[in-house]
Structure 1
Amino acid sequence: MTTLTPDASVRVRDLRKQYVVHEKEPGFLGSLKGFVNRKTRAVEAVRGVSFDLAPGEVVGFLGPNGAGKTTTLKMLSGLLHPSGGEVRVAGFEPRRREAAFLKSITLVMGQKQQLLWDLPALDSFLVNQAIYEIPDMQYRETMREFTDVLDLGGILKKQVRKLSLGERMKCELAAALLHRPRVLFLDEPTIGLDVNMQESVRAFIRDYNERYGATVILTSHYMADVTALARRILVIDQGQLVFDGDLARLAGQARGGKTIRLQLRQPVTAAQLAHYGSDIRVDGLSAELTVPRAEVSARAARLLADLDVADLTVEDPPIEAVMAELFGRKEIVSG
């Protein structure tokens, strides 16, 4: 096992996970054939993933459905054993599931729950206090912090079944972080929540990271979660890491262009803007167009010289579009 260096909270080397799945032909005859001569094939869910995370680092872990994100998080938390490779988290080997390791990490899955359905959330908190052997003074202090930041005052004594989705998710987060873990694995923590509740959850995660210096790995289909919390992005596709760098560098991997947004003093037509770029949209005195990345400065200068422009901004393409393009590639991009 590779020794954990002082500046690494999570170390992953050539991580692999292979499943054996059974195949059968359709219909009753296929079932009989499968019973007599069962066919199997190996499926590689994670293929040679490697990265290091520094203490206190917040990382967005992105990829399409089935890319291997949740499988990777489960291996990092010890719920699944790797088929190959080396993993160290907070100085521990996750597969051993030692008590000290479990007190150092947490795994929050937006589609799963740990709260007892028929009891108030407060009862589940007390159960977690006993499981993690949290001293009374620390428990009360943490509860005060979480109650204030997450506005839990009016819901702690309500049955979990009677809580709204947003209220339950806040309680789930509080329960998962009650023991003050140093490493957080967050798998779709805002899924299904409305915009206001998503922002509340993001603010809580940001506050926890700053207060306790926790390392955070976040997966989400909501790009606002990632852009609000993470400076570094890991992108996984078909079990392989295809990008490791910051958001700006990720946007720079797009082969397409950049978007120029215009606020005009005099209206223009799409035909007039066709000389400057493509994908043109005009709405009154507002317009936007796409220009080649290498020609942004020259095209912007021409627009300012030729048109009565009140304001001009240049933006990278939406991160979703960049990733959609990146998923079609197989080379590793590091930055």
Structure 2
Amino acid sequence: MTNSTQISYFMFAAYFDTGLFKHLCFLIVMFLYMLILCSNLLLIVVICVNRSLHEPMYMFLCSLFVNELYGSTGLFPLLLLQILSDIHTVSASFCYLQIFCVYTYGNIEFLNLAVMSYDRYLAICYPLQYNTRMTAKKVVVLIALIWLLTFFVNIFTLTLIVPLQLCGNIINKVYCDNHSVVKLACSDTTINNIYGLIVTSLSVFCPLFLICYTYIKIFKVCFSGSKQTRQKAVSTCTPHLASLLNFSFGACFEIIQSRFKMTVVPNMLRIFLSLYFLTCPPLFNPMMYGLKLSKIRVLCKGMIYFNWNKS
């Protein structure tokens, strides 16, 4: 039985030799990472700089974009190093840090989307009371709760996996994840499995219940309301629903494939889909919100045009 302190590194078994295409893969992944960084940073700056966007919906969006920068940075730098490397290993401490980053990103993303649906519910179902129900103080408290609660939950997750006695160090993925490390344990993992199941259930079903409840109420108001109410709902809810479906697809696939053997899915497709929830939402969301929300679209154009003329 090998003590966990003796495991100094983990090896990723899902990487394969790309040969002459190694540098091309590196450039494609680097381009995607730069695109994610630039698009999310642009929208964060636009929201922070313009006072007209200091409204609850845009503050929640800003939190979403910050989280996407955080999550993609937890993945891409190591991914880029691994693409160029011939030996696909990572130190144990960095692996645990990546687990923390990936899991906090996923939890924050889903909770943020749930709070955004609640905000849209108040704006559409209670427009006259919206400013009293969704105050600046309440926005700050909700965003702080999302981040602090998620960080606390995942710090506790780390305290459960770091002391585990491991009998191997091979992870069959291209990044570190909690379940892959727990499966390597030769000590008792009952607490890890129970805690993981509870956290996964709460972090998925509680936000999902809130989202379903709010959208049922929104649809009721839309069907019984005026054309103007329906247009307002469509313009603000469409990007949110698209973001939710995009992230949920990737996250659900990752949860299912982590816990069940999906041998029917080709290995290449399985690798791509395991990266989906970490790459596609950070790439997709800034474009979706930037194009669909007219306030952001106009201010982005103005900022880019101003900087272009200045140069």
Higher RCO, Cα 8 Å, sep 6+: 2
Give the number of the structure whose residues are more often strand, by fraction: 1
Indicate whether the TM-score tops 0.5. Answer: no
Give the number of the structure whose residues are more often helix, by fraction: 2
- Decide which structure has the larger Cα Rg and report it: 1
- What TM-score results when the alignment is normalised by the length of structure 1? 0.22
- What TM-score results when the alignment is normalised by the length of structure 2? 0.23
